[in-house]
Structure 1
Amino acid sequence: MGELRTVQQNDIIKNATKVISDEIEAIQELTSRLDDNFIRACETILNCKGRVIIAGMGKSGHIGHKIAATLASTGTPSFFVHPSEALHGDIGMITAQDIVITISNSGGTDELITLCSVIKRQGTFIIAMTGKTDSVLAKLAHCHINVGVSKEACPHNLAPTSSTTATLVMGDAIAVSLLKARAFTPEDFARSHPAGRLGKRLSIMVSDLMHSGEDMPKAAPELTLQDAILIMTGKQLGATLVVDADNKLRSVFTDGDLRRAFESGADLKQLKLIDVIQEGCHRITESSLAMQALVMMQEHTITVLPVVDENDAPVGIIHMHDLLKAGIV
């Protein structure tokens, strides 16, 4: 297939720019729809003793899947039910304590109308997200959120484009409003995202990765550099913690300190740690997130970090390599 002529390439960029502009305009229209119905929908979901169930056909169903997933991952128990499957038995998943959000641009989807007629009789609260305020679904629902757009990005005004984008954004607006109302924290988020880099960054603690006990290199300030080298090489971390007689962390002796001692021509058998260490060092607690250790190492350009308890006594050491292996970096 040959390359497109320049005029065609320009048309592609022009058309794509028009689509993006149209969809931005559609999203901006949503701010005027944030009214009492939006507030009522959020307050009802916050007080819901059951689950939030999303239902939609076709493209609206695809958007519904994403909204349900976003709600579920941000503190609102939620799942998607296909309207056709619901009418053939899955309606048993829906109880009077649940809230059902129906999505339909036209507001006239037959399967959703039938579904809402049935569940409304059992007392299930219904929120309709449609593009028409006078639609059947809007009138059937206890609460209606207007996600209508003045035009689709499709040049024929047929393919769901701006309308699906607007619905998705309104779903995000609901999810984030609920997240903030629940005071949902990064730690809460981590509990529903235990896998992948994001989950690891939000759930793995320093205590999970640090070298402790016999694996922790530790030396007294009076130790010679020669003996300190043996400890460093034995633990293979490129550093050793320097701890005073009261078991308080005093400093960290690293391979960089050792290199500088070599360059000075000092006698490693005679020179002691106290003669070369830099007093004081950065440290972290074992209850901190491993991600916090990474940030600290990057900010201070270091590769090892002592781990201390509330009395500033060393309980471990963590290396940048540990963070790499765990997928934190």
Structure 2
Amino acid sequence: MPIKIPRELPAFQVLSNENIFIMNNERANTQDIRPLKIAILNLMPKKIVTENQLLRYLSNTPLQVEITLIQTKSYISHNTPSEHLDKFYSYFDEIKKEKFDGLIITGAPVEQMKFEDVTYWKELTEIMEWSKTNVFSTVHICWASQAGLYYHYNVPKYELDKKMFGVFAHWANDEKAELTRGLDDVFYAPHSRHTEVKREDVEKVSELEILSESKEAGVFIVATKDRRKIFITGHMEYDRNTLKDEYIRDKEKGSEVDIPKNYFKNDDVNEIPSYTWRATANIVFGNWLNYCVYQNTPYDLETL
């Protein structure tokens, strides 16, 4: 949480220049506290696994967060028990009149398809359009980042020669940007995808900023300047063994897939994978909840 000190105190400017978040008394006195309403549109096949991953990071904050899980009506998951979906998930029709502080749209294993050929594309575009007026800040992850950039800004995706698969080094382009504040000069994050967006296409959109990228993995975090839309091309939410599970799954299917880069010691799949992105995920999700949502979302969501 931010430290609250008077603006006139010399430390206010000193700490601000050091990229430490300071709240002055005037701002603090006008703040009301309530739970943040966060919706998750879960497009991943193993929904319970993804829930656990995301909720682990959303809960690692002093802020009180209220979660609404959403599933698509146009495509029903076959990898999650229907009892679980019936009990814990809502359809978009059931919540579309509500407003939310934040929305997370997960990745999905459909990236090699044309966007328009995805079964739930029409429903997804309806949700993304709805998010512009009913959500304060939306995070799009992996395939959803490509889908969101395509839908909102007509940024295309491109097929890769081979799967971007592993854990890669990244840097932040602006160390004072709210979303990447506190990250190391070099930090790590997993990627698992067959397609990419290109820097030159993103740079054509004046509303967008590239906040983080990687020499090997390319564009990583893109956001609108007001942080109302955020696009993350990798999978910071992944657990230690997620890439391992995906590698084994792909091998069992007979797919040609390389061992995930920078993941197993000596590329030995029998070794315990290195978990080198946990701090990165904690920082970025925490920054999103605090700086991009909590500090800016209206107390009365009906005023969105």
Compute the TM-score of the two structures, normalised by the length of structure 2.
Answer: 0.31
Q: Radius of gyration: which is bigger?
A: 1
Which structure carries more helix by proportion? 1
Higher relative contact order (CA 8 A, sep 6+): 2
Normalising by structure 1, what TM-score? 0.29
Q: Which structure has greater strand proportion? A: 2
